[in-house]
RNA sequence: GCCAACGUAGCUCAACGGUAGAGCUCCGGUUUUGUAAACCGGAGGUUAUCGGUUCGAAUCCGAUCGUUGGCUCCA
């Protein structure tokens, strides 16, 4: 006898061996119809799974996140069957779910092309329409290996799997695949799907292994959700910083320098606004600023350890029979500045910032707009301190970092701690001390963090700051890296209270990471609608006709005198056309001026993103705008 | 770097083996306009580059460069 406990606490009694599907039927026909899988004693299983003895059960439907996940996984199988039907030579490797969908890795000599997607989808449609069941067959590990008959990829999957029971699922028209499950009861429950893209992917993500074809699909509960997802993709495309960067004339790229951004005047307005703000905050937090050379002798990079650990990403140059490297990081230069004089414990902590221009030769396939470039400006700083100052310094950096993020409207951040990588310098003891210092600071601030084992820089452990943008995407921006190695390599010392020379602790840190990348993130976060203090065009004045051009120019001059970034549209277009065109430039405000405004010394303000307008005295508008800029207000409403 | 796709005017796209076009932008003119696009005209392209096939190539083939989407890597 099985005693089955439902989520509401009630008990259903049934014979042993009753299936989850039958339990669902007992609860109600509606639920039985909607059922996709079940959770028995906390484990996800097929609806066909038998239940014995005491058990708790939850019927999973498409409404549950787990239900959607199962639908997607089953969809991957359906796509695999479709592909195997079209390409009988295709060897299946691995087909998991991902955010918004699934993929299947396939070993097939003939490339699958985007033009094939329609055929694949049609075939998938046929399989779904036939609505054949997914049937689970369990066997031992040895039986599974025997059944696979030496098939390379699936045998490897068995060898990597845990547990002694392996399972195969048969579905559709005689299709069979090794899979842990669970699956939807039959293909008809697959929901709405679309084959999205195909890309190369190394087997096991290992570049020395064969490159497989990874076919991506998206799948949803129904057609409506699929369409909404596709619309969301379209919207995200419109936010693409590369598209908006061109539209707003912020920056460009040229074949003359792949991965090297050209910042235009509008882009530099955003850049310099950020720099001004950044300098102000750093001054308040007790930082000084330096600037170190971009090209430095190769020997320096041997000494710093970069030659041994970072050479592949560095640019080199040679003149006067001497080898030089273009700096990929600012720290060695910072060390040379430190060395120019004697230091005392009294001046510690010594906080030295540098907006350093670095070059890194990134692989051609990874460069991407402003997000991944080969030349970028880091908002770097190096803090030299004594070991007992580490914790307080790290706390200070955390506070400074949060203050800066909040000014840009980022509210959700999280922190990750990365520990010793395989490729590292320095002793295990040094690594442990440094890692503990970071942990203690985080504990002191009561900050939750995630640990990434083995992800640290080669010279020390680090904590990384991640922010979440308006599309809920996570970006790594800031980093704090403890470094006990660099001071040793450069023989940096300070004189302590007892008149002995000791090695200082060096803390590397960046808040925004890369200016280029951060600006790209801001553009996508705001969809190009920059907050007033960052907007390249804060206001555009639109005279109704030439008759008020003089008034428009006068207003422009007055607003400029207040420090506002203003321009005038003096073309002979009608006002409707001026507004429509100006929209594309995304100014915070449009100021319409005609005879009425010129007589009352006012402007008719159109706020970006709003239909209705508001008339204000020129001085009134200027005062409000100036205050909003000073306060870095994100809200444009007057 | 690897796999695949794509490179046509400043931008967005047509033309898909037979004389390279449109809209927007830009320039000149008409119009003097009241809240999301008035009208007329003009300029702008060795179709990424180089080579091949063909009577004929933007179109087919190859190489190179670049871009896009992934993989690996990363700020």
Give the CATH number, domain containing residue A580.
Answer: 3.40.50.800
Residue A460 lies in a domain: yes
Considering the domain architecture, whether residues A428 and A477 belong to the same structural domain is answered as yes
- Asked if A196 contacts A226 with a C-beta cutoff of 8 angstroms, the reply is no
Task: Find which nucleotide's C1' atom is closest to A247's CA.
Answer: B11
Distance, Å, A304 CA → B71 C1': 31
What local confidence, expressed as pLDDT, does residue A431 receive? 83
When mean pLDDT is compared across A29-33, A392-396, A432-436, A456-460, the lowest value belongs to A456-460
What local confidence, expressed as pLDDT, does residue A456 receive? 84
Tokens of A564: 């506002």
How distant, in Å, are the alpha carbons of A280, A431, A461, A509, A519 from that of A241? 27, 39, 32, 26, 9
What local confidence, expressed as pLDDT, does residue A10 receive? 86
- Asked if A454 contacts A421 with a C-beta cutoff of 8 angstroms, the reply is yes
Q: Could you say which DSSP state residue A635 is in?
A: -
Longest dimension (CA), chain A: 92
What local confidence, expressed as pLDDT, does residue A116 receive? 87
Considering the domain architecture, whether residues A26 and A90 belong to the same structural domain is answered as no
Residues A491-515 have pLDDT tens digits of 999 999 999 999 999 999 999 999 9
Going through A474-543 in order, the beta strands assigned E by DSSP cover 474-483, 494-495, 501-502, 505-514, 539-543
* Residue A385: active-site member: no
What local confidence, expressed as pLDDT, does residue A114 receive? 85
What local confidence, expressed as pLDDT, does residue A109 receive? 86
Q: Which of A189, A241, A360, A509 is catalytic?
A: A360
* Residue A84: active-site member: no
Q: Describe the crossing of helices A141-148 and A152-160 by its angle, rounded to 10 degrees.
A: 170
- Residue A344: is it exposed, middle or buried by C-beta count within 10 angstroms (0-12/13-18/19+)? exposed
In the sheet that A43-45 helps form, which strands lie side by side, from edge to edge?
Answer: A11-14, A2-5, A54-61, A35-40, A43-45
Name every residue whose Cβ is closer than 8 Å to that of residue A162 and which is 6 or more positions away in sequence.
Answer: none
Instruction: Say yes or no to pLDDT of A635 above 90.
Output: yes
CATH of the domain at A105: 3.30.980.10
Distance, Å, A418 CA → B73 C1': 16
Instruction: Say yes or no to pLDDT of A162 above 90.
Output: no
Distance, Å, A110 CA → B5 C1': 15
Split into its structural domains, chain A has a count of 4
Where among A236, A257, A276 does a domain terminate?
A: A236
What local confidence, expressed as pLDDT, does residue A66 receive? 93
What local confidence, expressed as pLDDT, does residue A208 receive? 87
Ranges A117-121, A329-333, A473-477, most confident? A329-333
When mean pLDDT is compared across A18-32, A259-273, A617-631, the lowest value belongs to A18-32
Hey, what's the torsion of the CAs at A263, A269, A272, A277, to 10 degrees? -140
DSSP assignment of A610-624, as one string?
Answer: -S-EEEEEHHHHHHH
* CA–CA gap between residue A517 and residue A296 (Å, rounded): 25
Residues A582-629 have pLDDT tens digits of 999 999 999 999 999 999 999 999 999 998 999 999 999 999 999 999
What's the pLDDT band for A9 if we cut at 50, 70, 90? confident
Tokens of A390: 């580490």
Considering the domain architecture, whether residues A423 and A466 belong to the same structural domain is answered as yes
Q: Which of A375, A378, A389, A538 is catalytic?
A: A378
Give the closest residue to A182 by CA, choosing from A32, A21, A377.
A21
Where among A499, A523, A547 does a domain terminate?
A: A523
Instruction: Say yes or no to pLDDT of A458 above 80.
Output: no
What local confidence, expressed as pLDDT, does residue A232 receive? 86
Residue A458 lies in a domain: yes
* CA–CA gap between residue A479 and residue A465 (Å, rounded): 6
* Residue A568: active-site member: no
CA-based R_g, chain A, Å: 31
Considering the domain architecture, whether residues A422 and A487 belong to the same structural domain is answered as yes
Residue A259 lies in a domain: no
Q: Which of A75, A331, A385, A568 is catalytic?
A: A331
Considering the domain architecture, whether residues A135 and A209 belong to the same structural domain is answered as yes
What's the pLDDT band for A300 if we cut at 50, 70, 90? very high
Residue A528 lies in a domain: no
* CA–CA gap between residue A232 and residue A239 (Å, rounded): 11
Q: Which nucleotides of strand B come closer than 7 angstroms to any CB of the protein?
A: 1-5, 11-12, 25, 30-38, 65-75
Residues A45-72 have pLDDT tens digits of 999 999 888 889 999 999 999 999 999 9
What local confidence, expressed as pLDDT, does residue A174 receive? 86
When mean pLDDT is compared across A49-53, A268-272, A341-345, A423-427, the lowest value belongs to A423-427
- Residue A96: is it exposed, middle or buried by C-beta count within 10 angstroms (0-12/13-18/19+)? exposed
CB count within 10 Å of CB A155 equals 16
* CA–CA gap between residue A603 and residue A568 (Å, rounded): 13
- Asked if A168 contacts A144 with a C-beta cutoff of 8 angstroms, the reply is yes
Name every residue whose Cβ is closer than 8 Å to that of residue A78 and which is 6 or more positions away in sequence.
Answer: A124, A127, A128, A171, A172, A187, A190, A193
* CA–CA gap between residue A359 and residue A514 (Å, rounded): 11
Where among A236, A270, A305 does a domain terminate?
A: A236
* Residue A141: active-site member: no
Residues A368-380 have pLDDT tens digits of 999 999 999 999 9
Residues A145-158 have pLDDT tens digits of 999 988 899 999 99
Tokens of A307: 């030659």
How distant, in Å, are the alpha carbons of A168, A389, A468 from that of A235? 40, 48, 18
What local confidence, expressed as pLDDT, does residue A430 receive? 78
Name every residue whose Cβ is closer than 8 Å to that of residue A174 and which is 6 or more positions away in sequence.
Answer: none
What local confidence, expressed as pLDDT, does residue A337 receive? 97
More confident of the two residues A164 and A328:
A328
Instruction: Say yes or no to pLDDT of A294 above 90.
Output: yes
Q: Which of A39, A136, A183, A508 is catalytic?
A: A508
Distance, Å, A259 CA → B50 C1': 24
* CA–CA gap between residue A222 and residue A101 (Å, rounded): 13
Task: Considering only CA atoms, name the residue closest to the C1' of nucleotide B48.
Answer: A255
Residues A526-572 have pLDDT tens digits of 999 999 999 999 999 999 999 999 999 999 999 999 999 999 999 99
What local confidence, expressed as pLDDT, does residue A455 receive? 83
Query: For chain A, what is the mean pLDDT?
Result: 93
Considering the domain architecture, whether residues A37 and A125 belong to the same structural domain is answered as no
Task: Tell me the average pLDDT across A213-237.
Answer: 91
* Residue A581: active-site member: no
Task: Tell me the average pLDDT across A310-327.
Answer: 94
What local confidence, expressed as pLDDT, does residue A224 receive? 93
CATH of the domain at A50: 3.10.20.30
Task: Find which nucleotide's C1' atom is closest to A549's CA.
Answer: B32
* Residue A382: active-site member: yes
Task: Tell me the average pLDDT across A315-329.
Answer: 95
Q: Which residues of A446-461 are buried (b: 16+ CB within 10 A; e: fewer)?
A: eeebeeeeeebbbbbb
What local confidence, expressed as pLDDT, does residue A163 receive? 84
What local confidence, expressed as pLDDT, does residue A569 receive? 96
Residue A595 lies in a domain: yes
Considering the domain architecture, whether residues A494 and A352 belong to the same structural domain is answered as yes
Residue A257 lies in a domain: no
What local confidence, expressed as pLDDT, does residue A318 receive? 92
Considering the domain architecture, whether residues A55 and A71 belong to the same structural domain is answered as no
* CA–CA gap between residue A348 and residue A552 (Å, rounded): 55
H helical segments located in A341-416:
390-407
Considering the domain architecture, whether residues A373 and A417 belong to the same structural domain is answered as yes
H helical segments located in A285-389:
298-304, 306-310, 331-338
Residue A394 lies in a domain: yes
What's the pLDDT band for A220 if we cut at 50, 70, 90? very high
Considering the domain architecture, whether residues A562 and A627 belong to the same structural domain is answered as yes
Distance, Å, A366 CA → B73 C1': 8
What local confidence, expressed as pLDDT, does residue A473 receive? 87
- Asked if A636 contacts A533 with a C-beta cutoff of 8 angstroms, the reply is no
Q: Domain limits at A562?
A: 539-631
Considering the domain architecture, whether residues A143 and A208 belong to the same structural domain is answered as yes
More confident of the two residues A115 and A449:
A449
C-alpha A60 chain-centroid distance:
31
CATH of the domain at A349: 3.30.930.10
Distance, Å, A522 CA → B11 C1': 23
Residues A400-434 have pLDDT tens digits of 999 999 999 998 889 999 988 887 877 888 788 88
Tokens of A365: 């396939």
Considering the domain architecture, whether residues A73 and A194 belong to the same structural domain is answered as yes
Task: Find which nucleotide's C1' atom is closest to A611's CA.
Answer: B35
Residue A386 lies in a domain: yes
């Amino acid at each position: 006898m099985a005693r089955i406990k439902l989520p509401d606490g009630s008990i259903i009694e049934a014979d042993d061996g009753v299936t989850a599907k039958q339990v669902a039927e007992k609860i109600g026909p509606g639920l039985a119809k909607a059922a996709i899988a079940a959770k028995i004693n906390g484990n996800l299983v097929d609806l066909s799974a038998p239940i014995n003895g005491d058990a708790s059960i939850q019927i999973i439907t498409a409404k549950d996140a787990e239900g959607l996940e199962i639908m997607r996984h089953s969809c991957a199988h359906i796509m695999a069957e479709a592909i195997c039907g079209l390409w009988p030579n295709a060897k299946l490797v691995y087909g998991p779910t991902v955010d918004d969908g699934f993929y299947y890795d396939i070993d097939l000599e003939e490339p699958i092309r985007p033009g094939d997607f329609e055929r694949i989808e049609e075939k998938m449609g046929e399989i779904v329409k036939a609505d054949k069941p997914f049937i689970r067959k369990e066997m031992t590990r040895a039986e599974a290996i025997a059944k696979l008959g030496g098939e390379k990829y699936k045998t490897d999957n068995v060898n990597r799997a845990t547990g002694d029971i392996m399972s195969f699922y048969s579905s559709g028209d005689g299709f069979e695949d090794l899979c842990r499950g669970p699956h939807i009861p039959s293909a008809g429950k697959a929901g709405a799907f679309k084959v999205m893209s195909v890309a190369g992917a190394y087997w096991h993500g290992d570049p020395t292994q064969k490159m497989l074809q990874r076919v991506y699909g998206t799948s949803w509960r129904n057609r409506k959700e699929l369409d909404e997802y596709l619309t969301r993709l379209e919207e995200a495309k419109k936010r693409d910083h590369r598209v908006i960067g061109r539209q707003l004339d912020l920056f460009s790229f040229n074949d003359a320098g792949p991965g090297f951004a050209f910042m235009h005047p509008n882009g530099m307005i955003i850049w310099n606004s950020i720099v001004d703000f950044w300098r102000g905050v750093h001054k308040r937090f007790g930082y000084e600023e330096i600037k170190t050379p971009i090209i430095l002798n190769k020997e320096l990079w041997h000494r710093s350890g970069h030659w041994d650990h970072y050479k592949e990403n560095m640019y080199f140059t040679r003149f006067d029979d001497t080898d030089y490297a273009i700096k990929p990081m600012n720290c060695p230069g910072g060390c040379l500045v430190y060395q120019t004089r004697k230091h005392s414990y009294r001046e510690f902590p010594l906080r030295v910032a540098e907006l350093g221009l670095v070059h890194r030769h990134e692989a051609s396939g990874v460069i991407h707009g402003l997000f991944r470039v080969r030349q970028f400006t880091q908002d770097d700083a190096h803090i030299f301190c004594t070991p007992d100052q580490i914790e307080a310094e790290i706390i200070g950096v955390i506070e400074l970092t949060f203050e800066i993020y909040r000014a840009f409207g980022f509210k959700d951040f999280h922190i990750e701690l990365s520990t010793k990588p395989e490729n590292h310098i320095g002793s295990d003891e040094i690594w442990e001390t440094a890692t503990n210092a970071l942990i203690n600071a985080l504990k002191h601030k009561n900050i939750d963090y995630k640990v990434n084992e083995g992800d640290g820089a080669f010279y020390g452990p680090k904590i990384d700051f991640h922010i979440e943008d308006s599309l809920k995407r996570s970006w790594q921006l800031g980093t704090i890296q403890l470094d006990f190695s660099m001071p040793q390599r450069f023989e940096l010392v300070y004189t302590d209270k007892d008149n002995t020379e000791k090695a200082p602790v060096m803390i590397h840190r960046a808040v925004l990471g890369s200016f280029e990348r951060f600006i790209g993130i801001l553009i996508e976060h705001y969809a190009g609608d920059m907050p007033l203090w960052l907007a390249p065009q804060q206001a555009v004045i639109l005279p109704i006709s030439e008759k008020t051009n003089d008034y428009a120019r006068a207003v422009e001059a007055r607003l400029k005198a207040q420090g506002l970034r203003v321009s005038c549209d003096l073309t002979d277009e009608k006002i409707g056309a001026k507004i429509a065109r100006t929209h594309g430039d995304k100014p915070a405000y449009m100021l319409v001026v005609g005879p009425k405004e010129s007589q009352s010394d006012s402007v008719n303000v159109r706020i970006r993103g709003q239909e209705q307008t508001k008339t204000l005295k020129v001085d009134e508008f200027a005062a409000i705008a100036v205050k909003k800029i000073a306060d870095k207000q994100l809200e444009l409403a007057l």
